[in-house]
Amino acid sequence: MHTYKVAYTSPLTGKKERKWVPEDDIASLTLQREKQKQKAAKSSKRKKAQYHKRYHIVMGKEDYCPSYEDQGFELVYNPPGNGNCQFAALSHQVRKLGILRSPETIRKEIVAYLESKPYDSTGFPLLEHLADNEFASWNDSINHMARDGSYGDQLTLYAAANLYNIDIQIVSSLGAGGQHVFSPSASNSTATVHVYLVHFAENQEEHYVSLEQVVADHDNDNGEEAIEECHLDDVTGDYPTKNEGNTENEDDVGDSGDMVA
């Protein structure tokens, strides 16, 4: 059996001590801490589920429209609420930039980016941006996000901004104060295009849809801004499927994550 000489400060005496420790003792301590982290992660998920069950208020579709219309946007695509909505909305937005990717391909590319870059531009671990120790390790987070139906989060938006060199403006249903822009890291070139998504915070289902900025029409007879009636169910435009949009312009994204001209 291997032994290692370990230097440590005694919690009892406060003095520095050194002693030889068997390998099994070190391994068992590491395993114990790992199990504690996994237990804490499971407990956190359970608490979230209990909180959701107790306080969740279902929002009707008629409640959504004013949240983004009042901020100067209109709905152009409402993806299915199957856990892939963020990737589907991104797919719809980047198509107008000539980046043809299905939601499935966007998820794969984002996961690959995060897997290869576990730290942000300042060297801070991306895992630390996730709240409440939701995942015991970075690999656990990556494996979760790689699964179909896993909801995208702030890290996937961060990755998409860097991967496709775009600014992603999130319009929140909480109002203008909840807006946020995800921009490429300082090491990348400055993004010249914006894409717009809305996040329905009240729904607790992390639903995203694709938006466009509204250009006011002041030429109507009454001199008032023209506003179309909102029908969230009716806006379900097409987006590339798994077998579409993956061959053309595949070179739009370079190895550095920047969009190649």
Residues 192 and 147 in one domain: yes
Query: 257 in a domain, yes or no?
Result: no
40 domain residue, yes or no: yes
Tell me the C-alpha distance between 73 and 219, whole Å: 19
In-domain check, residue 51: no
- Do residues 71 and 41 both lie within one domain? no
Strands (E), 141-187: 167-172, 180-182
Q: Please state the domain count of the chain.
A: 2
Q: Is residue 56 one of the residues assigned to a domain?
A: no
Assess whether 97 and 19 both reside in one domain. Answer: no
Residue 81: give its domain's CATH number: 3.90.70.80
Domain of residue 41, residue span: 3-45
Claim to verify: residue 30 and residue 81 sit in the same structural domain: no
Assess whether 11 and 88 both reside in one domain. Answer: no
Residues 74 and 34 in one domain: no
Q: Do residues 68 and 33 share a domain? A: no
User: Do 39 and 142 reside in the same domain of the chain?
Assistant: no
Q: Which long-range contacts (CB under 8 A, 24 or more apart) does 231-237 make?
A: 232/61, 232/64, 232/65, 232/75, 232/78, 233/61, 233/78, 235/75, 235/76, 235/77, 235/78, 235/209, 236/77, 236/78, 237/76, 237/77, 237/92
The answer to whether residues 173 and 116 belong to one domain is: yes
Q: Does the pTM of the predicted model rise above 0.85?
A: no
Give a yes or no: residue 258 inside a domain. Answer: no
pLDDT tens for each residue of the chain, 261 residues long = 677 777 878 777 778 888 887 766 666 656 667 677 777 777 777 777 776 666 555 555 555 576 777 788 888 999 988 899 999 999 999 999 999 999 999 999 999 999 999 999 889 999 988 876 778 899 999 999 999 999 999 999 999 999 999 999 998 877 777 788 999 986 555 656 788 887 876 544 568 889 998 876 544 444 444 334 444 444 444 444 444 444 444 444 433 343 332
- Domain contains 259: no
Within a domain: 20: yes
User: In this structure, is residue 155 part of a structural domain?
Assistant: yes
Do residues 39 and 145 share a domain? no
- 142 and 239 co-located in one domain: yes
Is residue 245 domain-shared with residue 122, that is, in the same domain? yes
